[in-house]
């Protein structure tokens, strides 16, 4: 993708308006969340990723459709952890001037097995935080099987759990999204994206793509294919309306169409939210 060079302006009214929208998306008790979130240590939020959750796997079901699918069920602990983090994001954006464009270091690596997108994504993300964890080690910690890396299961939420275990820069939580997201959910994603790319030196986000024929696909992915895929989100442009990401399919010799997939790409954030609909993202 051609990267447009933007002036180093400060994101202003548009992003703050998006943040205002998020207030309604984190629940009616948002004001209370602003107050109580100060009393929750990091461990309370990180434990949410390790508590049992509804089992939602990433195995492709041939012929399945996302049409009408609701967001995956979330554990009560994760719902609360997400609200706390959303409140913190609003505080951060209200107190800090953020650039209209920011990219983290490119750390793309080819996944070594066709079902290792989860381990590759975690390895890429940790590398952006100057931490080395091999795909093999990540796969063991994630519980990855030939069916892929689960969104959630009886052991919690594997991707945020493993990220929280291996770094201290951020406390990751999972956000579940329906197949057709609301405008507020897209704005929430943009606020989460801009916050994480700037706070504490910047940290990446993990997307869990659920691509189906007739729906949007990541760049280079076969449009007629049904694909489950974890990928590393590494930045934004235009104050969050464009998402930059890297794709572990690029260079993966076990995947026949990998040559068509760029290592680094960008799509509108609205498209990204549709792509991860019926799963979600980890921030």
d(CA 181, CA 178): 6
Range ranked top by mean pLDDT from 16-30, 47-61, 73-87: 73-87
The answer to the question of residue 8 being in a domain is no
The answer to the question of residue 2 being in a domain is no
The domain that holds 165 is classified in CATH as 3.90.70
Can you give the pLDDT at residue 44?
80
The answer to the question of residue 93 being in a domain is yes
Say if residues 169 and 200 touch (Cβ distance below 8 Å): yes
The answer to the question of residue 165 being in a domain is yes
Can you give the pLDDT at residue 73?
96
Can you give the pLDDT at residue 6?
28
The answer to the question of residue 7 being in a domain is no
> What secondary structure does DSSP assign to 80-147, as a single string?
HHHHHHHHHHHHHHHH---BS-EEPPP-----SSTT-HHHHHHHHHHHHTT----HHHHHHHHT-BTT
The answer to the question of residue 1 being in a domain is no
d(CA 121, CA 144): 12
Q: Is the pLDDT of residue 279 over 80?
A: yes
d(CA 173, CA 177): 13
Query: Counting Cβ atoms within 10 Å, is residue 143 exposed (0-12), middle (13-18) or buried (19+)?
Result: middle
Higher pLDDT, 33 or 217: 217
| Nearest C-alpha neighbor of 50 from the set 209, 190, 137, 163 | 163
How many distinct structural domains can be found in the chain? 1
Q: Give me the domain span that covers residue 78.
A: 13-282
Q: How many CA atoms lie within 13 A of 10 on its CB side?
A: 9
Specify the range with the lowest mean pLDDT, choosing from 3-7, 9-13, 40-44, 220-224.
3-7
The answer to the question of residue 5 being in a domain is no
Say if residues 276 and 269 touch (Cβ distance below 8 Å): no
Can you give the pLDDT at residue 29?
33
Q: What is the pLDDT of residues 150-204, one digit of tens each?
A: 999 999 999 999 999 999 999 999 999 999 999 999 999 999 999 999 999 999 9
Q: What is the pLDDT of residues 168-179, one digit of tens each?
A: 999 999 999 999
The answer to the question of residue 4 being in a domain is no
């Amino acid at each position: 993708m051609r990267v447009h060079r933007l002036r180093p302006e400060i994101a202003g009214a548009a992003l703050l308006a998006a943040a205002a929208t998020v207030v309604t998306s984190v629940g009616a008790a948002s004001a209370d969340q602003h107050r109580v979130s100060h009393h929750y240590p990091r461990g309370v939020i990180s434990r949410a990723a390790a508590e049992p959750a509804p089992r939602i796997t990433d195995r492709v079901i041939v012929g399945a459709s996302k049409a009408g699918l609701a967001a995956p069920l979330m554990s009560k602990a994760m719902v609360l952890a997400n609200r706390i983090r959303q409140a913190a994001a609003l505080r951060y954006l209200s107190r800090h001037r953020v650039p209209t464009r920011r990219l983290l270091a490119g750390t793309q690596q080819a996944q070594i097995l066709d079902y290792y997108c989860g381990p590759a994504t975690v390895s890429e993300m940790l590398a952006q935080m100057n931490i080395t964890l091999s795909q093999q080690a990540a796969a063991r910690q994630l519980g990855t099987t030939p069916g892929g890396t689960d969104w959630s299961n009886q052991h919690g939420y594997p991707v945020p759990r493993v990220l929280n275990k291996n770094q201290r820069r951020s406390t990751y939580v999972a956000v579940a999204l329906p197949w057709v997201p609301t405008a507020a959910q897209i704005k929430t994603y943009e606020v989460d994206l801009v916050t994480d790319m700037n706070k504490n030196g910047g940290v990446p986000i993990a997307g869990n793509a659920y691509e189906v024929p007739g729906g949007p696909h990541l760049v280079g992915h076969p449009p007629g294919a049904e694909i489950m895929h974890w990928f590393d989100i590494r930045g934004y442009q235009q104050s969050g309306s464009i998402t930059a990401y890297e794709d572990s399919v690029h260079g993966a010799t076990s995947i026949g169409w990998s040559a068509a997939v760029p290592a680094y790409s960008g799509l509108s954030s609205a498209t990204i939210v549709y792509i991860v609909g019926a799963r979600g993202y980890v921030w």
